[in-house]
Amino acid sequence: MSEKPKKRVWARWVVLAAIILGLFLFTGFFGIGLGIAPIMPHVYLPGEKLSETPILGIEGFYPTNTLVGLGLANLIVILLAVGVSSGVKSGKMVLTGISGAVEALLEMLYGITEGTAGKWTKQIFPWFATITLLVLAANWSGLVPGNETIGLIHEYKNGHPLIQAGPLTTIWEGGAGVDVESYDGKKYAVVPFLRPVSTDLNFTFALAVVAVVMIQVFGFRSQGMAYMTKFWNTKTLFSKPIFGVIDFGVGILELISEFSKILSFAFRLFGNMFAGAVLLFVIGSLVPVFAQAMFYLLEFFVGLIQAIVFGMLTMVFMAQATQGHGEHHEEEAHA
Amino acid sequence: MEALGINLPFFLVQVVNLIIMYVVVAKWIVGPISGLLEKRRATIAQGLEDAREAADARANAEKEAEKILAEAQAKAASLVREATERAEAAGRDVKAAAEAEAGKAREKAMAEVEDERSRILSDLRGQVAALSIAATQKLVGDALDDKRQHALVDEFFSGVKAGKVVIMEGAGVTGQSAEVTSALPLTDAEQATVKKDVLAKSGAAAVTFRVDPSILGGLVIRVGDKVLDGSVAGKLEGLRANLR
Amino acid sequence: MEVEAAKLIGAGLAMIGAIGAGAGVGIVVGGAVQAMGRNPDATGTIQTNMILGIAFAEAIAIYCLVVALLILFVF
């Protein structure tokens, strides 16, 4: 009883101090604040290069901030793995702390998988868990303060001028207080050290491609070569005059839909997370204090939901691939 | 593609990384946790099994208790019934004994009453005879000898003349049993005479004697379903009918 | 500057597609809530399918958003 209120009080003072600091930095009330208007950070879709020398000398393979983000996400997942495995090895019946939360999440996901995949649960569930945990780690690592904000100042053509404001060198959008003397005509932007890997299309495409490939693998494992008839359905082409042709056409459409799944997976996650990041930028530049906190909460939920949705869609498609499709097509053809 | 930031080396790095992560998660997160879930499920199943067994045991114990209770109740009921029966039997015995006692006492009393009555009537007969003789002597003035008079009176009362029952002469009735009614108790000698004669004439197996003062004198003998009226009252009645 | 203006207008127009996704998500959630109200025991299954349906419907809006972002920041 005595421990918790103390911590709360401590946190309350931190929040108050942050608010006062924010007000001091970003507003010019009563002439005491610095009145630094936050600029709209540059929005750059690919991962930004941290260095101009390619890794291992491979063409185009530069160290980017999303690569650092990938390392962070991996680190989180590996730490969770260590925590969970050591927690289970210690013989406890119920895990505590973070590994307990992971266990609760995975138990829920296991329940969903069991309800959908049936006897293939044991094979499908690790993919579900991997994708969900990795994407969740990537999404939530983007919410850590300092992410996408602390970095090196680089020259950037769509950036803002770099000016001297008293003792500080800052990127300034320009306006009344611009010291024209120090303006050298070049534009700059901050390249952050860290950016969540789920805002990198390479990551989302890699996940999507692996997921779709594994869906096909599960299809072949469960049905053998009969799985091919899903895409190349010549069984009824000549026996049924019109419906056979329709069945064949549906098979081709299924083949196309497998490729559209890749796009859909990749862009859903990327779009959500990238849009979330842009949203935070925009809100931060419009209302310097308070408002961003609300959108942090929103991003928290979006990150969780997108992670679960990515994993769950993969799981559902895998489960569908393990079940027969022949009779399903018949129904569709006659509907 | 360049504008989207997609390039092959990055993409391959991500794919390889994902596969590594799959191995990590499958081996160190999913494996232990599914083992844990399995263990927990087994524990819960074990717990449920234990609970079921306990419930079974309890049900058995309840059944046992019920059985014991039923047995005890049956035993108690049989004991109660036995006791009741014994008490009833005892009560019956006592009652029967008491009734028998009472009956005996009553019979004795009745017999005594009868004897008393017979004795009183016998005494009365002597006195009546003496009175009637005295009255007759006064009336007739002539003195019959005493013995003759007594014989006459006795004849009047007993209806027996010279060892024969008067009314039985030539009556010719037969029956299984005979009942002789006299106005006053007969003497033992008279009884024996009457009995012998009635038995001889009617062929009856037994003779019973009754006393009824209302017939005034003589004998009324009922044999089977026939009645021979040799009583004074009957004669008076016949006389009254003739006089009218 | 005319190109910049056209980009902004184009990005704005691209986001019109979000209307459909919004209506779709509303219909999905409305149906799911009705179903849960009628059969509370099936809440788990309905929720799972509801989230899947929302994800599919939302994907359309995300495509619009991606197109808008591409117009604004890439091309």
A-chain residues near B11 (CB < 8 A): 202, 205-206
Percentage of chain B lying above the pLDDT 90 cut:
22
Interface test with chain C among A45, A114, A128, A279, by most C beta carbons within 10 Å: A45
Same-domain pairing of A26 and A100 = no
Same-domain pairing of A245 and A320 = yes
Containing B18, the helix (H) or strand (E) segment is helix B8-25
Q: Is the pLDDT confidence value at C18 over 70?
A: yes
Flag whether residue C58 sits within 8 Å of chain A, measured between CB atoms.
yes
> What is the C-alpha to C-alpha distance for residues B13 and A58, in angstroms, rounded to an integer?
12
Q: Which of A191-200, A259-268, B21-30, B54-63 has the highest mean pLDDT?
A: B54-63
Q: Which domains does chain C have, with CATH numbers?
A: 2-74 (1.20.20.10)
A-chain residues near C52 (CB < 8 A): 309, 312-313, 316
Residue A238 lies in a domain: yes
Maximum Cα–Cα distance across chain A: 87
Residue C73, CB-side half-sphere exposure with 13 Å CA sphere? 18
> What is the C-alpha to C-alpha distance for residues B169 and A98, in angstroms, rounded to an integer?
142
B-chain residues near A200 (CB < 8 A): 5, 10
Containing B65, the helix (H) or strand (E) segment is helix B31-140
Question: Cβ contact (<8 Å) for B25 and A77?
Answer: yes
Containing A47, the helix (H) or strand (E) segment is none
> Can you tell me the mean pLDDT for C61-71?
83
Window 80-99 of B, Cβ < 8 Å to A? none
Q: Identify the CA nearest to B219 among candidates B232, B231, B234.
A: B231
Same-domain pairing of A31 and A111 = no
Flag whether residue A46 sits within 8 Å of chain B, measured between CB atoms.
yes
Residue B209 lies in a domain: yes
A-chain residues near C45 (CB < 8 A): 115
> What is the C-alpha to C-alpha distance for residues A74 and B72, in angstroms, rounded to an integer?
76
> Can you tell me the mean pLDDT for B29-34?
84
> Can you tell me the mean pLDDT for A68-87?
89
Residue B193 lies in a domain: yes
> Can you tell me the mean pLDDT for B75-99?
92
Q: Compare all CA atoms of chain C with the CA of B2 and give the residue at the minimum distance.
A: C74
Residue A93 lies in a domain: yes
> What is the C-alpha to C-alpha distance for residues A253 and A222, in angstroms, rounded to an integer?
22
Same-domain pairing of A230 and A288 = yes
> What is the C-alpha to C-alpha distance for residues C70 and C75, in angstroms, rounded to an integer?
6
Residue A218 lies in a domain: yes
Q: What is the pLDDT of residues B171-204, one digit of tens each?
A: 667 777 778 887 777 777 777 777 777 777 777 7
Question: Cβ contact (<8 Å) for C75 and B3?
Answer: yes
Residue B192 lies in a domain: yes
pLDDT on residue A28: 61
Interface test with chain B among A43, A79, A86, A88, by most B beta carbons within 10 Å: A88
Same-domain pairing of A89 and A203 = yes
Same-domain pairing of A233 and A121 = yes
**How many independent structural domains does chain B possess?**
1
Chains contacting chain B through 3 or more C-beta pairs under 8 A: A, C
Residue B186 lies in a domain: yes
pLDDT on residue A68: 87
Residue numbers of the domain that contains A268: 83-150+193-335
* Partner residue opposite B21 with nearest CB, options A77, A85, A107: A77
Looking at per-residue confidence, does C62 or A237 come out higher?
C62
> Can you tell me the mean pLDDT for B73-94?
92
Same-domain pairing of A136 and A17 = no
Q: Identify the CA nearest to B121 among candidates B155, B83, B97, B157.
A: B157
Q: Compare all CA atoms of chain B with the CA of C71 and give the residue at the minimum distance.
A: B3
pLDDT band at C29 (very low <50, low <70, confident <90, very high): very high
Residue numbers of the domain that contains B185: 160-243
Residue B207 lies in a domain: yes
CB-CB contact of C21 with C64 (8 Å)? yes
Same-domain pairing of A143 and A3 = no
**How many independent structural domains does chain A possess?**
2
Q: Compare all CA atoms of chain C with the CA of A201 and give the residue at the minimum distance.
A: C66
Same-domain pairing of A143 and A218 = yes
Flag whether residue C2 sits within 8 Å of chain B, measured between CB atoms.
no
State the nearest Cα–Cα gap between A159 and chain B, in angstroms.
Answer: 17
Looking at per-residue confidence, does A178 or A278 come out higher?
A278
Question: Cβ contact (<8 Å) for B36 and A88?
Answer: yes
Residue A185 lies in a domain: no
Beta-carbon contacts of residue A217 (< 8 Å; ≥ 6 apart)? none
Question: Cβ contact (<8 Å) for C62 and A309?
Answer: no
* Partner residue opposite A200 with nearest CB, options B3, B5, B9: B5
